């Protein structure tokens, strides 16, 4: 499956390629970025090359897709977003996202997720987009709520990450709840 280029205003979501290896390494070696993720902060650039392969595999096997978040004026990766755990028979997909701390609070992720949701509902024809959030990640919970996601529940010891069990909050947005106006206003 081809990962398309999506854009709004000066924000561009494009496929992640080998040219992003150094930027992806800087990004995922930042503790603030990986704090609530299921990966440890990178310590070796080969980890960045490996995750690019994983993202490519998502698209090739139609399990999901991942975009580099960039500005049209500067093609440098400042974050990533995309889908994984695509359950085709159930028309549902899981969303994930991350952004360099220096770009937090600028509305970038609102736009990036808006682009991906529009693509999910209008092109991929999914019915349900899910997000699993660490309960301590209040900024992510606020973002999802602002975008119209519903809080569905608290999952105790849902994942084993970084040597310990962690809880998760489940959020979802259904096709019938999605409107371009809700996302883009």
Using an 8 Å Cβ cutoff, are 5 and 13 in contact?
A: yes
Round to whole Å and give the CA distance between 31 and 29. 6
- The pLDDT assigned to 179 comes to 78
- The pLDDT assigned to 1 comes to 85
Domain span holding position 94: 6-183
Using an 8 Å Cβ cutoff, are 17 and 67 in contact?
A: no
Angle between helix axes 21-28 and 45-60 (nearest 10 degrees) is 110
Find the length of the chain.
185
- The pLDDT assigned to 181 comes to 66
φ, ψ dihedrals at 38, nearest 5°: -90, 20
H-run or E-run covering 143: helix 138-146
Rg, C-alpha atoms of the chain: 16
Determine the number of helices (DSSP H) and then strands (DSSP E) in the chain.
6, 8
Domain membership flag for residue 1: no
Tokens describing residue 139: 């900024």
Round to whole Å and give the CA distance between 133 and 114. 18
pTM: 0.94
Cα-Cα end-to-end distance for the chain: 30
User: Domain of 100: which CATH number?
Assistant: 3.40.630.30
Averaged pLDDT in 10-residue chunks for the chain of 185 residues: 94 97 97 95 97 95 97 96 97 98 96 96 97 97 95 96 95 90 59
Domain count, the chain: 1
- The pLDDT assigned to 182 comes to 61
């Amino acid at each position: 499956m081809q990962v398309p280029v999506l854009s709004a205003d000066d924000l561009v979501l494009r496929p992640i390629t080998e040219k992003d290896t150094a930027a992806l390494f800087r990004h995922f070696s930042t503790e603030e970025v990986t704090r609530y993720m299921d990966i440890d902060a990178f310590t070796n650039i080969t980890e960045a090359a490996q995750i690019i392969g994983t993202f490519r595999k998502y698209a090739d096997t139609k399990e999901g897709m991942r975009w580099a978040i960039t500005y049209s004026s500067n093609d440098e990766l400042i974050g990533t977003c995309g889908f994984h755990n695509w359950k085709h028979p159930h028309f549902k997909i899981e969303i994930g996202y991350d952004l360099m701390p220096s770009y937090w609070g600028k509305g970038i992720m609102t736009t990036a997720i808006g682009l991906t949701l529009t693509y999910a509902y209008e092109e991929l024809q999914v019915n349900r987009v899910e997000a699993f959030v660490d309960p301590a990640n209040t900024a992510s919970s606020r973002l999802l709520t602002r975008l119209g996601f519903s809080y569905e529940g608290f999952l105790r010891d849902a994942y084993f990450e970084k040597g310990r069990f962690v809880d998760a909050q489940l959020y979802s947005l259904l096709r019938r709840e999605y409107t371009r106006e809700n996302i883009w206003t």
